[in-house]
Structure 1
Amino acid sequence: LLELADKEAKATIEAFEKKAERERYLEQRKLERQAHPSLSTADSLADILELDILPRLSTEDIYDWGGHNFKKHGKKLVGFCPQHGGSSGTAFQVNPADNSWYCHGCQEGGHAVQYRHFANGGHGTPKGKDFIEIVEELADDAGVTLPEWQPPQQKQQNKTIPKLEWWQKCGLPREANNLAKFVRWRFGKIAWRFFKRTGELPANPQLNKNPDEQKLATQIIAEHTTAITLWTPLLKLGTPYINYTGPGSIPTYSEYQKLLETENWLIKEPNIKFDLRVWGDTPAREAYAKGWNLILDKHGCGEGKSHVYGALRADKLEGIERTVFAATNHRNPTVESVEHRKDLIAKHNGLTYDNTKHTPLGNPYQTATPKGQTPDIKPPCVEHKLFNTAYELQLNAFSGKGSKVCKTCPLLASGCDYLEERRNTLGTEKVKDEDDNVIGEVLNYPDIRADLNGLNKFDVPTALIIDEIDQTLESSKPVHITKDAIARGNMKLASLENQKLAKVLQEICQEIYALIDNYEPANKHGSDHFQVMEKLASLSIPKNEWLSSEKKYQQYLTYIAKDKFNCLIEKIYGPEIVDHKIDLWGEPEYTYKANHDPITREITTVEEKPTGEILPTIPSLDNLIAECQKLLKTNFDEIIDSGMTPGEKTEALELNHTLDFLSPILKAINGYRKVSLSLNKNCLTITKPWYRHQDIIKSAAVVTFLDTTQDVADLRRNLNLDKDEPILVFSSPEKDHSNLTLKFITDFGHASNQRRSGSQYTETERIAAFINQIVENHKSEKIGLIDYKAHAYSHKLPDNIVKVGHWGNDSRGSNQFLDCTTMIAIGDYTENLGALAAKWQCMTGQIVTPSKLTGDYGRHVKRRRIADLEQVIGRPRATNRPDEQIVIYLPGKWTSDEISAIASRLPGVNIEQVATYDVCPKAAQKGEQVNRKIIDTMWELAKVGQNFTQEKVAQIVGLSRSRVSQVCLDLLPTSFVRFKKMLVLLWNTLNRTNNPKKALSELPEEIRWFVSEWLPDFPYFVQQGETLEEMAENIEIVVKTYGQYILEYVSVDTIIDLIKLFMAPMPISFWEELRTQVEPIPILIEN
């Protein structure tokens, strides 16, 4: 005990010494600041924070969340918590003396930095990028300008070293890495051809390890390096990965962390690379055994992910009793191994056989039966419409003996086929010994396939495999609130005993009703969250300098809206607050004492002591939220009974259900960020987090996600995981895509879902012309077509378009294009931005403008666009067909960044950016068609030697003279006259024999320089900034001064290059044709 007490005393003394040392350090820095008032004396961001930022901020500045609603309790401030909210408004406590805080509900506390991190949904002390962002935010609030910040290295790493040492440690590895990248890029295709011819790759080049040569190289370097430089460790870019070479290649998570201790990688996600066709499920089984319970398999399209994991059975995995393959198309599996699994029956409205598509075992596809047709497979549950309606309304309706819906069904007593089938699939069989004693149970079907919606939390150790996570997982759900739903809620409130509460809630209902009734569209997509909050706050102001950021503007709107609704509550309750006979809301009063860590100053414990006093008060917004959640519920017992038919039950639910729309709206007003509001005609949409799928996934022992294009950070957000939660990534070594050609037609336009028709220049007609031209160009090939769902199946298609699908469905996870050598994907597909923004807000708490693609949200949307593009490119499975040439046409406004991303992900792919007019003139936009017609007309007239004018060109192309002139001005920075003159001059020169009477050497020196040096070097002058106008003017001056004959000395190649310069808009194919048509220039030799 004495020894323990001695250790405790020493630890306490050390803690106080560290605290005193930190205080002395800060005091010294303050004195230096007084002498030199700048930030230059700060050694770290922490110093700048404590010395320059926090002293300028008041308690109100730091604790800026609009929902606290602080009240004074002694010397402390208490209010609502930005994370858990609370009902009393006393859980969150701030001590103004040192600006520390603590939340009793969340059991967290700290100071300004921890608070801002906590208010943004974080926990503990932020680090790295998060810490820097919060310091920048606090500096902005304090009006402090931060210097260009470079994080300091540890003191033991900073040293002055000779340049030789720097070269050996940094320069040489960096240059070697750059050289390796160049060689790989330059000779990659050659190596691949060698592999295809010989069956093996050339040996990898090795660094020379001869010690004598290394010594000599070191000596040579030392002789030429005497400078001094500062050495810092290199930050390694890219992604570290481990090549799987057999069992034992996969480390545990702790082993992987140790591997990275000596490496300064920017990205630290664990990645295992291997050929899935070679190793099959062996790496997955090893990873499960090593404790990895979350795996993302990103092997490429067509490499066999579904086949391998479909064949992964429970008897192969130790400690696993069941495997489940979850996919939205579980009824129509794409591989045989998945189809062999038992299909878990799911509710549906009737299915029809589609005999044009078949599963690997030859069964016809089962598709939803269109309205008005008789299904081939009847609905398995007679109450399916009632369940669907309840699901859409987010009402808690489930199947089984305890279900209120099933209790009213006459089939429950006699035996429901649907429930019996599910029990049989998910049930067990008892195992008995010779004496008929039960000695165990085995699952009837240990390996099944299912829709994620048809599953419940697992009650046995399960390996869950999820195919195409973006199609399968729902992390948020919208509910649509109409004026009828508000009217039903209002009627329910009218029956409350507490009339004061009822009146408050009814007043709020009227505000929401008026919001929908008086809706005026801000744009064709409706009003987003910001605009709805403006209407709720009865405020619309321009974003001034103070409200420049969306975050500040949202905080301001929340403050105004909250104040407005608090005034509404006070208006109804206020007059009676002094009447002791009125039974008001009661809140207990507490006193608090916080204990701080002596070094970090973070709150360690809080002593809470009730005073015994009850403070009468009016209800807060949190109180109203809690009451709405209790009162606004749908009671199935009051709506349906066993005497109703299934149709009557559904109708009764539609007419009499009650939605709790008030509590999420009040949460948004109160500052809760994970509720998104949007407004359209006659409907308010509320999008909330939905955790059912996440709970199912978290109940599995191990989970594997199959998705080529899924981002690890996005997956964590979808699953509501901590950002440091380990996810093991499987990926494939680089595959050759040299047989794949992508033709991006970026000037086509977006070709979006909203299309006009009625003219040859509208998108509908242009797309039809484009498709017909591709069909004409590839008559003997099988062609696949992807378009938006609203248009994909309405095209009049030729016979060789054998497969048709739509974006978001057939563009990913589909095998129907395996025999297509040509594909057309219409439009640069982007998911609904309003839905994406709402989902993003529910996942992250960040409120964004849907169409403003900046920050993390913008990068998220761009990742999804690239993912959809990569998925559609993978449909023909080019890597599985190396002997076939595959072409994909991509008309749409794809950006250069997106095209570059695809090029980096598909090694060897041939990418062409083609003008629409060059593929199909009728598919080009109107302006482009007009420009090309003018150019073609002028060129044809020049070739036959005709004198042409603006009037003549305008007459031929059917435009006005002024329009022709304007087009020429748009095409080139020169007038029509100069354009025509230069064109005719160059063409005439090109058509001459070019047989000068005098040799080039006999020309005057200045003319010889002009002909032999200046004209051939014109690209250099253009690169240096000289305009085409200046080029033409210089040529005209020389020709006018010395005569047109001097152009006859210019080489044909230079003449053609000049024509190309002045005719830049002409298609590339034209110039290729031009070079083949020009006759060689004869050279006469005198005898």
Structure 2
Amino acid sequence: MKKAERARYLEQRKLERQALPTLSTADSLADILELDILPRLNTEDIYNWSEHQFKKHGPNKLVGYCPQHNGSSGTAFQVNTKDNSWYCHGCQEGGHPVQYRWFLKGEHGTPTGKDFVEIVEELADDAGVELPEWKPPQKQSQSKLIPETEYNFKHKFPRLLKDTVSNLAQDLKDKVARPAYKYFRRNGKLPPAPELHPKEKQRIRQANVAEAKHLAETTTAIVKWEPPLLLGKIQIRLGDDPNNWNVPTDFEDWKNQGSPAYVVPPGMRNIFEALMVKRGIKNLFDSSGTGTGKSHDTGNLPPYLGINPHTQKKSEDDPTLYYICDDPRNPTTESIESNSVVLPSRHSGLVEDTTKQTPLGYPHIRRPKGKEEPTIEASCIREAIFRYFPEFKNRTLFGGKASAGCQGCPKLLNEDGKVVCPLLVGRWKTKQYAPFIRSHPQQLSTLSETDIAVVDEAAKILKSTKDIFVGSESLNEAFYELGTNLIKHQVDGLHYGNAIFRALSPLIQIMKEMMVFIDSTPNIKKNGLNHNEFINLMFEKLADLYCSHGLITEQEKTLFLEAKSGNSNSSDVLQLKSIKGSWIEKLINRALWNLSAVEFLTKTDTNIWGEVRVFGNKDIRVVNVSPTVEDVVQILKEVYKPNLENLIEDDNLPWEIQRKRIDEKCKLNFVTPLLNVLTGSRGYIQAKSYGFYITQSDNHVKRSLFNAQSIIYKDATARPEDIAMRIGVDSEDILEYKVATPAATNLVIKLVGGFGSCGAQRDSKEQREKGLSEASLPKRLIKGVEKIIADSISLTAQLGKKAKIALIDFQGQLSNYKDIQGIDYFGYWWRDNRGTNILQDYDVIIAIGNPTANLGAKAASFRTLTGKYANPANPTEEFKEYIQHSVVSEKLQLVGRLRAHLQPHKQKEVHLLGDYSEHLIWQLKDKFPGCQINKMMAYDLCPEAATRRDLDTKMAIELGMKLLRFGQKVTQEKIAKEMGCSQSWVSKIFKKLGGYKRALQLFQCLNNTFYRRWNNPQTTLDALPEDARWAAETFFPLEVQELLKNEGIPAEAISTLDIIKDEYNLNLLNYVSLDTILDFILGLIPYLPQEYQEIFEQALVPPEPIPI
């Protein structure tokens, strides 16, 4: 427990004793220890080992020998006499009096149970305190019961109020101006008519413009739009007694309470989950941090749900618990493996990998790699066919007696016509009788209303999109089919086939030309065209082709181009804008109307093409129509419905022959998804030189889980909205909870900047051509990695130990480190940073780069799941946040691999090399409470790891400060001479620092800062009030970073200093890091010396100079 928190806790307990004296005789041993025993003992009474040989070291510190390791200096073991805490730098362990007495016995950590009672009795004897007769915990908890009204006023209401104010403050910080925010922090409410934050004003202006455009097309009145104020979730901490939990009685009760989130005590996850399932909560989300036992507890969940995992179900109505994960054949916990069975799945042969073992010691089971021969027989001889359909035919082929994929299979039926296929029989028996089943999501069948599902790593494995590849062969086939079979088709007696062919064939022609264009254009050949580039190019090319083919007039083409560009607001343009649908959809519909209008007028009772109006002199137009492309989609589905009868004639035929037969029976599988994407439906298309990828929704998992009684989603780094978008529910309908995470005070995380983003393609030809690789990035990374390894080995060697070091990078970059000595494990992103316990015994992890997945794939997923704009070349803030969250999630998963909080006696370190965001720092502090986070630059590792510009900038600053300290004039000539470089190079450095005059101000301010830090002892953050500490550790550094990125204004950061000064009479700059102060100065320099000069000088006023 942190010092400030501990002090507040003790103060609160004293107040409770005064308010309710009856509680004094029924206190827990912990309270008696803190309030009655320890205050009567001095430091010498507590730390009573005779061999310490303590020496005084400063006003509040004693140093001496350690009782557990043989140190020679006599200073490793240190005691703080102010709060009687201790720490041994040799053993890397510390605590308070109880931990010390336990440490004397040769143990580690905090004693529990009888051991704890014995040590408290021992300290009580030393203090002369008589302990009350010990009673069982249940009786003691009953004796502490107080009236509900008293409990609400003393505990519940203040906590809820504090949470509400905290959540409101979090949401208000970017919505209201600083004075209003300051008023709110003081008074808990906003002032009358508060001024809005500049960013909020800009957002409202943009929203008003968009709303005004929409209203202008539908009404003459423009109403100002006011954004709603969103509040955060209420968070309820549950106590250790489930009988006293304040939890909802059902779903409606939970919604009426404001949809709170819950913090569950350690060891009570299964009790909470079972209770919520029994009370009818459909969607539960466990966001507990890594290493808190999510998978382990799932393995032990069945008995809490009334399920015996080791007996067969008695009837179909008995519930089945499904554990849905990425690798069901190789569980990661013993409880899952021993209590559940695998749902048999379709495969073409597997391999037993003896190099890896499951928790129960069995070899891993996996698919063969390359030419590797299977050691386990195939479960289905037609597995390739079942896999081919969803990947290439945009269809899912299900198994079963009536399935086209199974018909004719020699293993399907016996002589009596009974199904004997081992796979189908095995799946049926497992689902019928097994009470606890583990399965991959894509191998899942539809669950029943009594079934319960647990989805592990939910955001990763809930794949809700699928890709269809379209190559030149498919485009040629489509062109032929549209011109032959389709033109014969009729709808309601009308011959629309030819009209559809003439309207759609230009699409195919443009796509074929686009492939040639990409292949012949060097600057786009590598990445191709993203969705938005494809759509814009398609619209322009389609308008040209339609006009040249006579499908639309030149006047109509001009009208469409003007309307889409937004450069005209003529009546015709406004009329065109009023028609529903995307621009390509409107263009295709216009062509279809022009092609079929004559025949349409002969059938007045037919209205499949929408509403027709005649303007002026019989000028026929289609307005307010239901998109006619939708009708085309239905026609194509009908004409090209796959005929799967006799799908496989002979299982002995080569796969290529079988594939061609499938292709003949399933034609034009891509045209419908293509039209859906072009007409604005959710989906995404990427154009490459070799073909196109069309991404669309995949509802298989959603359908499989739909009927389940309850679904428990587990993911340490996902958000409720991530789960919601994948399963198609409202995020507000997902009950979120997490298990309280123990402190990880033994974990040190070092964030090392100065290497750039360190992507998968680093030091590429493109980077060198752009001059971004003045010092080879891989070489600089190697120097940095070598330095980290050397320091880690040296430090652990001093303790008589050997450091276990793991390195994580992109798979294609691992060969760069093969010659470095001291690396015990090589891993790569997306495989070794999540879902594995292999790194939990390691001491140091070095991770390089930001694990950003293919941006095109992320954009495809984002647009398909949300329907919102996603352009990697010009991302929206929401899409940026989506990308950033995925990167942060991977890094959080990596840090969790060490399981630091489960090994408090062992020092753990993680080095993250590459650019990082302040959001990552927030998340690290939240997911790993108590950890130490150090920010540094490549230069701080070793000079060889930094770029020349960084090295020279740092040297120039140091020389400038040195010259000022000795009273000399700072000139570019002097600095250039000292650095051994040209004066023009120093000039470039000064320009980067804001120019010569502002560089001098920087040097002086840095000197002042160092003087002040030298003259004044380091002030501990623990002594700060909670709000001030939060401002020093998190909020103010974030504002400084925004200032550096030109995303904030100086007034915001300076206002924070004013608020802390007014409320607590503290200078916040005395508590933030020197890096933050340097960044603050650099951020302010462009605004000096005018508007903020006076405030700046007051904030950094120099102290009395010290002798040099």
TM-score range for the pair, normalised by the shorter chain length: 0.5 to 0.7
Structure 1 position 766 matched with structure 2 position 780: yes
**What SS does structure 2 have at the residue aligned with 1:286?**
helix
Residue type of the alignment partner of 2:396: N
Equivalences for 1:938-1087 in 2 at 5 Å?
A: 959-971=981-993, 973-974=995-996, 1054=1105
Structure 1 residues 239 and 740, CA, compared in 2 at 3 Å: closer, same or farther? farther
Whole-Å separation in 2 of the counterparts to 1:618 and 1:884: 66
Q: Aligned match of 1:728 in 735, 753, 765?
A: 735
For the 8 Å contact 2:328–2:438, the answer to whether it is kept is: yes
Distance 1:249 1:660, change over 3 A: farther
- Find the partner of 2:337 among 331, 339, 343: 339
Report the CA distance between 1:428 and its aligned residue: 4.3
Contact preservation (8 Å) 2:723, 2:731: no
CA contact (8 A) 1:489 1:632 kept: no
> Kindly tell me: are residues 353 and 919 of structure 1, through their superposed partners in 2, closer, same or farther at Cα, counting changes over 3 Å?
farther
Query: By how many angstroms is 1:815 displaced?
Result: 1.0
Is the CA contact (8 Å cut-off) linking 1:736 and 1:906 kept in structure 2? yes
Unaligned ranges ≥5, structure 2? 1-81, 87-93, 101-109, 121-140, 151-186, 195-228, 308-316, 489-494, 544-560, 570-574, 612-624, 794-801, 1012-1068, 1071-1076, 1094-1100
Partners of 1:527 and 1:678 within 8 A in 2: yes
Q: Which moved more, 1:642-651 or 1:694-703?
A: 642-651
Secondary structure class of the residue paired with 1:456:
coil
TM-score, normalised to structure 1's length? 0.60
Residues 301 and 877 in structure 1, CA contact (< 8 A), matched pair in contact too: yes
Q: Distance in 1 between matches of 2:577 and 2:458?
A: 32
> Which whole-Å CA distance do the structure 1 matches of 2:815 and 2:402 have between them?
44
- Which of 523, 530, 537 lines up with 1:528 in the alignment? 530
Structure 1 CA distance for aligned equivalents of residues 1001 and 241 of structure 2: 68
User: 1:570 is matched with which residue?
Assistant: 593
Structure 1, unaligned runs of 5 or more: 1-185, 210-224, 430-441, 591-616, 990-1015, 1035-1049, 1057-1077, 1079-1087
Q: Summarize deviations over 1:461-496 as a string: whole Å, max 9, x none.
A: 322111101221111212122221122223333442
Alignment match, 1:324: 322
TM alignment of 1:385-464, pairs within 5 A: 385-393=384-392, 394-413=394-413, 420-428=421-429, 443-459=432-448, 461-464=450-453
For residues 380 and 921 of structure 1, do their structure 2 counterparts lie closer, same or farther at Cα, with a shift above 3 Å needed? farther
Q: Which moved more, 1:878-887 or 1:308-317?
A: 308-317
Match of 2:761 in 1: 754
How far apart are 1:291 and its partner, in Å?
1.5
Of the candidates 279, 299, 320, which is equivalent to residue 288 of structure 2? 299
Give the Cα separation in 1 of the matches to 2:828 and 2:285: 26
Q: Output the CA distance in 2 between the equivalents of 1:358 and 1:553.
A: 65
CA contact (8 A) 1:349 1:385 kept: yes
- Do the aligned partners of residues 814 and 927 (structure 1) sit closer, same or farther apart at CA in structure 2, a change above 3 Å counting? same
Q: Secondary structure at the match of 2:989?
A: helix
Give 1:273-312 correspondences, 5 Å limit. Answer: 273-276=263-266, 278-279=267-268, 281-312=270-301
Q: Secondary structure at the match of 2:360?
A: coil
Taking the aligned partners of 2:752 and 2:450, their CA distance within structure 1 comes to 51
| 1:514 corresponds to which of 489, 510, 515 | 510
- Quote how far apart the aligned CAs of 1:345 are: 2.8
- Residues 526 and 936 from structure 1, CA distance in 2 versus in 1: closer, same or farther, beyond 3 angstroms? same
Separation in structure 1 between the aligned mates of residue 923 and residue 609 of structure 2, nearest angstrom: 59
Alignment of 1:456-605 (within 5 A): 456-459=445-448, 461-496=450-485, 498-499=487-488, 500-507=495-502, 508-518=504-514, 519-520=517-518, 525-538=527-540, 558-577=581-600, 587=608
1:240 is matched with which residue: 219, 235, 238?
Answer: 235
Pair 532,663 (structure 1): closer, same or farther in 2 beyond 3 Å: same
Asked if the contact 1:969–1:975 (Cα under 8 Å) also holds between the matched residues in 2, the reply is no
Q: Specify the alignment match of 1:695 in structure 2.
A: 703
Comparing 389-398 with 654-663, greater Cα deviation is found at 654-663
Instruction: Call closer, same or farther: CA 1:641–1:1025 in 2, change over 3 Å.
Output: closer
What secondary structure, in the 3-state scheme, does the structure 1 residue paired with 2:868 have?
A: coil
**One-letter identity of the residue aligned with 1:748:** F
1:745 aligned onto 2:752: yes
Question: Mapping of 1:828-977 within 5 angstroms?
Answer: 828-850=850-872, 852-854=874-876, 856-932=878-954, 959-971=981-993, 973-974=995-996
CA drift at 1:956: 8.9
Q: 1:957 to 1:645 in 2, by over 3 A?
A: farther
Give percent identity, aligned residues only.
21
Structure whose CA Rg is larger: 1
Look up the match of 2:823: 801
In structure 2, C-alpha distance between the alignment counterparts of 1:515 and 1:824, rounded to whole Å: 45
One-letter identity of the residue aligned with 2:441: L
Contact kept, 8 Å, 2:240 with 2:265, in 1: the verdict is no
Distance change >3 Å, CA 296–CA 982, structure 1 → 2: closer
Q: Give the letter aligned to residue 671 of structure 2.
A: L
- Once the two structures are TM-superposed, the CA of residue 286 in structure 1 deviates from its matched residue by 1.8
Q: CA RMSD in A?
A: 5.4
Do the aligned residues in 1 keep the contact of 2:455 with 2:712 (CA within 8 Å)?
yes
3-state SS of 1:461 partner = coil
Name 1:79's counterpart in structure 2.
Answer: none
2:137: which partner in 1?
none
**Pair 1:647-2:655 in alignment:** yes
Structure 1 residue 833 displacement after superposition? 3.0
SS of the residue corresponding to residue 674 of structure 1 reads coil
Distance 1:355 1:627 in 2: 54
- C-alpha spacing 1:250/1:504, structure 2 compared with 1 (3 Å): farther
* Cα deviation, residue 881, structure 1: 1.1
Contact 1:389 1:654 in 2 (8 A): no
For residues 530 and 250 of structure 1, the distance between their equivalents in structure 2, rounded to whole angstroms, comes to 51
Contact 2:287 2:737 in 1 (8 A): yes
Q: How do 1:220-239 residues align onto structure 2 when only pairs under 5 Å count? A: 239=234
Instruction: Return the letter of the residue paired with 1:751.
Output: C
CA distance in 1, matches of 2:344, 2:402: 19
Equivalent of residue 807 in structure 2, options 757, 781, 785: 785
Residue 680 of structure 1 corresponds to: 688
Paired with 1:554 and 1:803, the residues of 2 have a C-alpha distance of 60
- How many equivalent residue pairs? 759
> C-alpha offsets along residues 33-58 of structure 1, whole Å, 9 cap, x if unaligned?
xxxxxxxxxxxxxxxxxxxxxxxxxx
Displacement of 1:871 in angstroms is 1.5
**Matching of residue 715 in structure 1 with residue 723 in structure 2:** yes
Task: Evaluate the alpha carbon distance shift between residue 629 and residue 794 of structure 1 in structure 2; reply closer, same or farther with a 3 A threshold.
Answer: farther
For normalisation by structure 2, the TM-score amounts to: 0.59
Amino acid of the residue matched to residue 583 of structure 2?
I
Does the aligned pair in 2 maintain the 1:426–1:445 contact within 8 Å? no
Greater mean alpha carbon deviation, residues 741-750 or residues 832-841: 832-841
Aligned counterparts of 2:693 and 2:578: Cα–Cα separation in 1:
21
Structure-1 residue corresponding to 2:789: 775
Amino acid at match of 1:370: K
Tell me, in whole angstroms, the C-alpha distance in 1 between the residues paired with 2:849 and 2:318. 45
- Give the structure 2 partner of residue 666 of structure 1: 675
8 Å Cα contact 2:341-2:437 kept in structure 1: yes
* Aligned residue in 2 for 1:1008: none
* CA contact 1:973–1:1028 (8 Å) conserved in 2: no
Secondary structure of 1:537's counterpart equals helix
Q: Counterpart in 2 of 1:600?
A: none
Hey, what does 1:605 align to over in structure 2? none
Shift in CA distance, 640/1028, structure 1 to aligned 2, threshold 3 Å: closer
Amino acid at match of 2:595: I
Q: In 1, Cα distance between the equivalents of 2:948 and 2:349?
A: 47
Distance 1:654 1:762, change over 3 A: farther
AA aligned opposite 1:742: I
Q: Measure how far apart 1:420 and its partner are.
A: 4.3
> Per-residue deviation at 1:799?
5.4
Secondary structure of residue in 2 paired with 1:912: strand
Q: Which secondary structure does the structure 2 equivalent of 1:748 belong to? A: coil
